[in-house]
């Protein structure tokens, strides 16, 4: 609908409320909302974005430490979709219309050069997140998208299973179609404070349980702080639930003042609620030397002892085997006195030391909160959304896109891909 309906009502005596009608009205100007707006406006829809912040894409600017890992080049749809766990199946139809490859074509057409890095992560070649945001805003401008900044939506009014209008502090807006792209609850300082869940609930939607995901993990033990900030590469983390291995990861992790963090920990964090809900004790076992068997590592330790006999104490031996920032922690966890000359270390002590290097145990004591979570796990139940259109099955002219949906993936560009795909589909005009 092209016609702009403007009328004025007097509220509270003197205040003027302006109502303007759009074809497509998007609540939230993050990556999902921007992509939806670009798609809708490219199809000739009179489109507007209502964004609560003075600027758009605050979280996008933080992504990938400001470099924006905007998708992943994993070139196998099944493998890509598996990254999202069971809920990933919801994306098959959407991916067939706008998947990761289409995302690359889209950004290439905006003039963005990109590079593929470790783990098939795709980043802009230069300019990072700001460049991605600039390209999206330029596309919005080309499509004539009206962007209303500092316009937090305070309420959504429903009538006969349809959205009637959305209300900001000063205005009411109506449209043929409404897309809620308000993000999740993670990093609320970027504007994602979970407002969309309230609107979705009011429309009758189920919100599955919400958890912080891709988030550091707290441990019951306080000793990780002795190695706080220490980055470990090529380590293996085994996850044990009541002593039985339920997962393992190989890669990078770090110690923090309250526990552990880093890529492999963050990825495991998304599964912690499932394991915790089963009850029982959840323990991480860290193998600092995964490429060496107990036997090979024992031989290595013995070689070092032989080489430095008479010249080193236990502390010096530890220094040879772990990163400098880990030395204090290993000395704390080992029963061998720090100043014991290495030639007096017994075979039994060597065996204990090797076991420690291959099996440092930490008890999981919960996740850090939403303030530090990269994404939200849980959201608008996918059972109530049409996967081909992102339309609500409960409310005729209501659509959802992005992190608000009950979809989340590991790090590597998989979460922004949810936004590009669902934003594009929600912004499409369906016959
Ligand atoms: C530190 C960090 C790093 C990340 N790095 C990566 C990465 O490298 N790769 C990757 O794939 N993913 C990454 N992510 C995740 C990714 O940024 C999110 O998945 C993505 O931003 C979600 O997009 P969205 O559009 O759904 O929501 P958001 O980006 O949260 O945008 C929602 C918008 O809606 C607005 N809004 C909310 N409520 C209202 C309201 N009531 N009225 C009007 N506007 C409202 C908000 O202000 C916000 O601008 C990262 C996240 C964080 C926090």
The CATH number for 162's domain is 3.50.50.60
Range of the domain at 201: 8-211+374-427
Residue 167 shares a structural domain with residue 292: no
**Residue 361 domain-assigned (yes or no):** yes
pLDDT at residue 3, as a whole number:
31
Nearest protein CA to atom 5 of ligand 1, as residue: 63
Helix (H, G, I), strand (E, B) or coil at 315: helix
**Residue 143 domain-assigned (yes or no):** yes
The structural domain count of the chain equals: 2
pLDDT at residue 86, as a whole number:
95
Residue 43 shares a structural domain with residue 183: yes
Residue 130 shares a structural domain with residue 274: no
- What does R_g of the chain's alpha carbons equal in angstroms? 26
Residues facing 386 on adjacent strands: 391
Residue 22 shares a structural domain with residue 124: yes
pLDDT at residue 148, as a whole number:
97
Residue 125 shares a structural domain with residue 34: yes
pLDDT at residue 286, as a whole number:
98
**Residue 170 domain-assigned (yes or no):** yes
**Residue 2 domain-assigned (yes or no):** no
Q: What is the pTM of this model?
A: 0.92
pLDDT at residue 12, as a whole number:
37
pLDDT at residue 146, as a whole number:
97
Residue 170 shares a structural domain with residue 110: yes
Question: Ligand 1, from 39, 168, 178, 182: best to mutate by most atoms within 8 Å of Cβ?
Answer: 182
120-148 per-residue burial string, b: 16 or more CB within 10 A, e: under 16:
ebbbbeebbbebbbebbbebbeebebebb
Residue 246 shares a structural domain with residue 340: yes
Residue 315 shares a structural domain with residue 190: no
**Residue 33 domain-assigned (yes or no):** yes
Residue 200 shares a structural domain with residue 231: no
- What's the first-to-final CA gap in the chain, in angstroms? 15
**Residue 87 domain-assigned (yes or no):** yes
**Residue 292 domain-assigned (yes or no):** yes
Q: What are the pocket residues of ligand 1 if the criterion is a CB atom closer than 6 Å to any ligand atom?
A: 27-33, 50-53, 58-60, 62-64, 68-69, 152-153, 181-183, 186-187, 190-192, 195, 374-375, 402-403, 413-416, 419
| Distance, CA of 311 to CA of 303 (rounded, Å) | 14
Question: Ligand 1, from 30, 70, 401: best to mutate by most atoms within 8 Å of Cβ?
Answer: 30
DSSP string computed for 235-277: EEEEEEETTEEEEEEEEEEEE-SSEEESHHHHHHHTTHHHHHH
For ligand 1, the distance from its centroid to the CA atom of residue 192, given in whole angstroms, is 7
Residue 200 shares a structural domain with residue 248: no
| CB burial of residue 384 (10 Å; 0-12, 13-18, 19+) | middle
Question: Ligand 1, from 32, 59, 270: best to mutate by most atoms within 8 Å of Cβ?
Answer: 59
| Distance, CA of 186 to CA of 211 (rounded, Å) | 9
Strands 282-287 and 360-367: antiparallel
- 125-135: per-residue pLDDT in tens? 999 999 999 99
Residue 89 shares a structural domain with residue 158: yes
pLDDT at residue 20, as a whole number:
72
Low-confidence ranges of the chain (pLDDT < 70): 1-19, 430-431
| Distance, CA of 204 to CA of 385 (rounded, Å) | 12
Closest CA to 325 of 222, 224, 203: 224
Nearest protein CA to atom 45 of ligand 1, as residue: 28
Please identify, among 329, 347, 368, the residue that sits at the C-terminal boundary of a domain: 368
- 332-361: per-residue pLDDT in tens? 999 999 999 999 999 999 999 999 999 999
pLDDT at residue 17, as a whole number:
56
| Distance, CA of 240 to CA of 32 (rounded, Å) | 37
pLDDT at residue 195, as a whole number:
98
**Residue 16 domain-assigned (yes or no):** yes
Please identify, among 346, 368, 390, the residue that sits at the C-terminal boundary of a domain: 368
HSE-CB for 166 with a 13 A CA cutoff: 29
Question: Diameter of the chain by CA atoms?
Answer: 92
415-427 per-residue burial string, b: 16 or more CB within 10 A, e: under 16:
bbbbbbbbbbbbb
For ligand 1, the distance from its centroid to the CA atom of residue 33, given in whole angstroms, is 10
For ligand 1, the distance from its centroid to the CA atom of residue 186, given in whole angstroms, is 8
Please identify, among 320, 342, 368, the residue that sits at the C-terminal boundary of a domain: 368
Residue 128 shares a structural domain with residue 78: yes
């Amino acid at each position: 609908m092209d016609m702009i309906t403007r009328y004025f009502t007097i509220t509270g005596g003197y205040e003027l409320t302006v109502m303007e009608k759009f074809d497509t009205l998007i609540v939230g100007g993050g990556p999902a909302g921007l992509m939806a707006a670009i798609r809708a406006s490219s199809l000739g829809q009179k489109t507007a974005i209502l964004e609560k912040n003075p600027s758009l894409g605050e979280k996008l600017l933080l992504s990938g430490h400001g470099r924006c890992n905007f998708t992943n080049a994993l070139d196998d749809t099944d493998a890509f979709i598996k990254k999202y766990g069971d809920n990933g199946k919801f994306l098959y139809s959407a991916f067939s219309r706008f998947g990761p490859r289409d995302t690359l074509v889209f950004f290439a057409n905006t003039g963005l050069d990109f590079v593929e890095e470790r783990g098939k992560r795709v980043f802009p070649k230069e300019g990072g997140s700001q460049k991605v945001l600039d390209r999206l805003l330029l596309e919005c401008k080309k499509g004539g998208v009206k962007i209303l900044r500092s316009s937090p939506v305070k309420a959504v009014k429903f009538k006969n299973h349809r959205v009637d209008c959305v209300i900001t502090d000063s205005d009411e807006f109506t449209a043929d179609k409404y897309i809620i792209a308000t993000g999740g609850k993670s990093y609320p300082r970027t504007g994602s404070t979970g407002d969309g869940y309230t609107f979705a609930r009011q429309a009758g939607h189920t919100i599955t349980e919400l958890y912080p995901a891709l988030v550091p993990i707290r441990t019951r033990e306080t000793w990780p702080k002795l190695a706080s900030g220490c980055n470990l590469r090529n380590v293996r983390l085994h996850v044990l639930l009541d002593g039985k291995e339920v997962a393992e990861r190989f890669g990078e992790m770090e110690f923090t003042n309250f526990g552990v963090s880093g890529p492999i920990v963050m990825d495991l964090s998304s599964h912690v609620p499932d394991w915790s809900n089963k009850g029982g004790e959840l323990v991480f076992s860290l193998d600092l030397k995964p490429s060496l068997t107990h036997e090979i590592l024992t031989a290595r330790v013995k070689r070092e002892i032989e080489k430095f006999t008479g010249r080193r104490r236990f502390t010096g031996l530890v220094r040879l085997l772990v990163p400098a920032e880990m030395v204090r922690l290993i000395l704390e966890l080992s029963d061998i006195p720090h100043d014991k000359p290495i030639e007096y270390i017994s075979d039994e002590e060597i065996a204990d030391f090797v076991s420690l290097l291959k099996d440092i145990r930490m008890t999981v004591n919960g996740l850090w909160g939403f303030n530090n979570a990269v994404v939200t796990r849980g959201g608008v139940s996918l059972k109530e959304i049409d996967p081909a259109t992102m339309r609500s099955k409960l409310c005729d002219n209501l659509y959802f896109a992005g992190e608000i949906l009950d979809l989340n993936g590991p790090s590597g560009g998989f979460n922004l891909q949810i936004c590009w795909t669902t934003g594009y589909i929600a912004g499409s005009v369906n016959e």
